[in-house]
Amino acid sequence: MSSDSADPFYWMRVILASNRGTLMELGISPIVTSGLIMQLLAGAKIIEVGDTPKDRALFNGAQKLFGMIITIGQAIVYVMTGMYGDPAEMGAGICLLIIIQLFVAGLIVLLLDELLQKGYGLGSGISLFIATNICETIVWKAFSPTTINTGRGTEFEGAVIALFHLLATRTDKVRALREAFYRQNLPNLMNLIATVFVFAVVIYFQGFRVDLPIKSARYRGQYSSYPIKLFYTSNIPIILQSALVSNLYVISQMLSVRFSGNFLVNLLGQWADVSGGGPARSYPVGGLCYYLSPPESMGAIFEDPVHVVVYIIFMLGSCAFFSKTWIEVSGSSAKDVSIWFI
């Protein structure tokens, strides 16, 4: 059993709280996907969900059941598409064991999310899983002692450790600094600095809000305020958009493995392995998946500006749609909030 094959979800694992080759392989994808589908069904009035506790309990129960079905479905697809090696070489027994492991791990994630939703913790399960994964990724990418043999020689994966290693082993210190800040296909200091900068900007804007003055019609003369944050829907639209794209990736990869060269399959997505150091990863190079994915590098932005424009339109449009849908379904729209003050 191997997890060294190219990873098509390399760029999305942080936001999906997923780790390659571990029990958290599926991450929060089943939870988010089930929630996405159920919320869209409720928003489109295909299923009627009332405000009574019984209806909410039935809705949450159906969402959890749907999440279990998606978990076992994704586990089967991951194994059968060769994410851990050729299924024919591994045998039916090993494939079944991997599917069971992924399903049980996904079930535990569902239960932990349910536990946090019941109030036995701080925040939501999805946000906690993502925050934990991001913190682990930042620390590992900065201080990882793992060595990787690249065309430039053996290097450390961690950006900070690589800085001291390059300064100690290279005679040209200026070139060593440049390589530590801008090396390709491995974590570098510019990645770390950009992460800290984005982290600070998000914290700053997180405090932005507008307090709307409210005058109660029931209690005359009583005033209050309702705060509206700049990030009103928080990271929910990004999470839902990532879940949508990740499921499209799964379908495209599955069809590419089984029907390689088919015109319709290539229209959905064509995949190629990324060369160079760092983890093995796969990236769409054609088809719909290519245009729904971010540019791989700064150079790719200038090589194919149409790709950039299509991706920006898709990203902004899908996030706006999910934001509007989430506000309406979750009871956070202006109409729903106004009922509280009547």
Q: Where are the domains of the chain?
A: 10-144+187-340
Question: How far apart, in whole angstroms, are the C-alpha atoms of residue 81 and residue 126?
Answer: 27
> CB neighbours of 265 closer than 8 A, spacing ≥ 6?
252, 255, 256, 259
Q: Return the pLDDT at 97.
A: 92
Mean pLDDT per 10-residue segment, the chain (342 residues): 62 80 85 81 74 77 88 88 81 90 91 82 76 87 85 82 89 87 85 91 85 70 76 82 84 81 86 64 83 81 89 92 80 73 64
**Beta strand ranges found along the chain (DSSP E):** 147-150, 153-156, 209-215, 223-229, 270-273, 282-286
Q: Return the pLDDT at 342.
A: 63
- The CA-based angle 212-216-220, given to 5 degrees, is 135
Residue 177: name the closest of 159, 192, 158 by CA: 159
- The CA-based angle 304-307-312, given to 5 degrees, is 135
| φ, ψ dihedrals at 263, nearest 5° | -65, -45
Question: How far apart, in whole angstroms, are the C-alpha atoms of residue 159 and residue 144?
Answer: 8
- The CA-based angle 156-181-142, given to 5 degrees, is 45
Strand partners, 211: 227
- Convert 299-323 to b/e letters by CB count within 10 Å (16 or more is b): eeeeeeeebbeebeebbeebbeebb
Q: Return the pLDDT at 1.
A: 45
Question: May I ask the CATH class of domain 10-144+187-340?
Answer: mainly alpha
Q: Return the pLDDT at 161.
A: 92
> CB neighbours of 292 closer than 8 A, spacing ≥ 6?
245, 248, 310, 311, 314
| φ, ψ dihedrals at 123, nearest 5° | 80, -170
